[in-house]
């Protein structure tokens, strides 16, 4: 008997599916021509699966929004109190790369894990512009700060600091963008946690498309486009070398194509 009821898991999945639908529709509107493609995958033997949603176009060069729910008899931790316990894990992850170097990369994910006799939630969102605009940065952080208002497990300031620490690229000695929020291992009342994740994801689904609509049509030079491709390299380096979500997906037998949908479509080093 798990900690979470089937009804609670279903409610969490409903949130994830609604986020995927909302974001893919927003990316389609921004691009104007490209349509999102959805591809379902299964982990096998009743161990779960998910749906990968990807859009590729002239404006939205590559954007993905994936939903997954997997389970197994042994949590894939190398060590620690949760190692070897039965688990259930579900989440949504989205990443977008615009063709224009004036339009920022952004990422968001939320997840829920049940391991043995406990469960927790985690997630976050961050903005990674090649060319940072102060008003975009302020709008992005203001939306996330409002989503964190009244949260009992921590504050926006705490989650903002956590984001800067998590999305730090050690070999580059820098954070990968202009920040956002990050949180993990939040435990407590399921309804309160689900409400918090709903506020965070709704804020992201509103503010990020608004930023993109302002930037995708701005003029840029060939030099800026070339420099953007090198900037994308840092994003790829973090995801491949340091990101915990990438490692967890690979360790739990997730869909490789879905896991690496976060990588830029064209990049230079």
- Nearest Cα to Cα of residue 59 among 212, 263, 224, 230: 212
pLDDT value of residue 84: 76
Q: Across the chain, what does the average pLDDT equal?
A: 89
Mean pLDDT of the region 97-115: 96
Return d(Cα 247, Cα 242) in angstroms, integer: 8
Mean pLDDT of the region 193-201: 97
Mean pLDDT of the region 26-53: 91
Return d(Cα 127, Cα 212) in angstroms, integer: 11
Catalytic residues: 107
Of 151 and 189, the structure prediction assigns the larger pLDDT to 189
pLDDT value of residue 1: 47
Residue 259: pLDDT above 70?
Answer: no
Return d(Cα 75, Cα 116) in angstroms, integer: 9
> Could you give the domains of the chain?
6-262 (3.40.1500.10)
CA torsion, ordered 139, 141, 143, 147, to nearest 10 deg: -170
Q: Which of 22-26, 75-79, 251-255 has the lowest mean pLDDT?
A: 251-255
Return d(Cα 158, Cα 152) in angstroms, integer: 12
Q: What is the DSSP letter of 114?
A: E
pLDDT value of residue 171: 73
Return d(Cα 8, Cα 12) in angstroms, integer: 6
Identify the three-state secondary structure at position 45: coil
> pLDDT tens-digit profile of 248-258?
666 666 566 66
Spatial contact of 141 and 180, defined as CB atoms under 8 Å apart? yes
pLDDT value of residue 38: 96
Residue 264: pLDDT above 80?
Answer: no
> pLDDT tens-digit profile of 121-158?
999 999 999 999 999 999 999 999 999 999 888 999 99
């Amino acid at each position: 008997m798990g900690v979470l009821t089937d009804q609670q898991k279903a409610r969490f999945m409903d949130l994830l599916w609604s986020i995927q639908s909302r974001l893919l529709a927003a990316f389609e509107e921004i691009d104007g021509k490209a349509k999102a493609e959805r591809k379902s995958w299964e982990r096998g033997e009743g161990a779960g699966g998910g749906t990968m949603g990807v859009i590729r176009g002239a404006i939205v060069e590559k954007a993905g929004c994936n939903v997954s729910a997997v389970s197994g008899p042994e949590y894939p931790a190398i060590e620690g109190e949760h190692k070897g316990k039965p688990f259930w894990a579900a989440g949504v992850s989205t990443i977008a790369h615009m063709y224009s170097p004036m339009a920022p990369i952004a990422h968001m994910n939320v997840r829920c894990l049940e391991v043995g006799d406990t469960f927790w939630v985690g997630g976050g969102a961050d903005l990674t512009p090649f060319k940072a605009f102060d008003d975009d940065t302020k709008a992005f952080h203001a939306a996330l700060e409002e989503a964190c208002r009244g949260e009992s497990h921590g504050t926006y300031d705490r989650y903002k600091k956590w984001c800067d620490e998590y999305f730090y690229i050690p070999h580059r000695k820098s954070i990968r963008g202009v920040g956002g929020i990050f949180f993990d291992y939040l435990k407590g009342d399921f309804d309160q946690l689900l409400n918090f994740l709903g506020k965070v994801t709704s804020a992201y689904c509103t503010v990020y498309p608004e930023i993109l609509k302002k930037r995708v049509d701005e003029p840029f030079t060939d030099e800026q486009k070339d420099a953007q491709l090198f900037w994308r390299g840092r994003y790829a380096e973090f995801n491949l070398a340091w990101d915990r979500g990438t490692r967890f997906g690979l360790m739990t037998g997730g869909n490789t194509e879905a896991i690496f949908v976060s990588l830029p479509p064209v990049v230079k080093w």
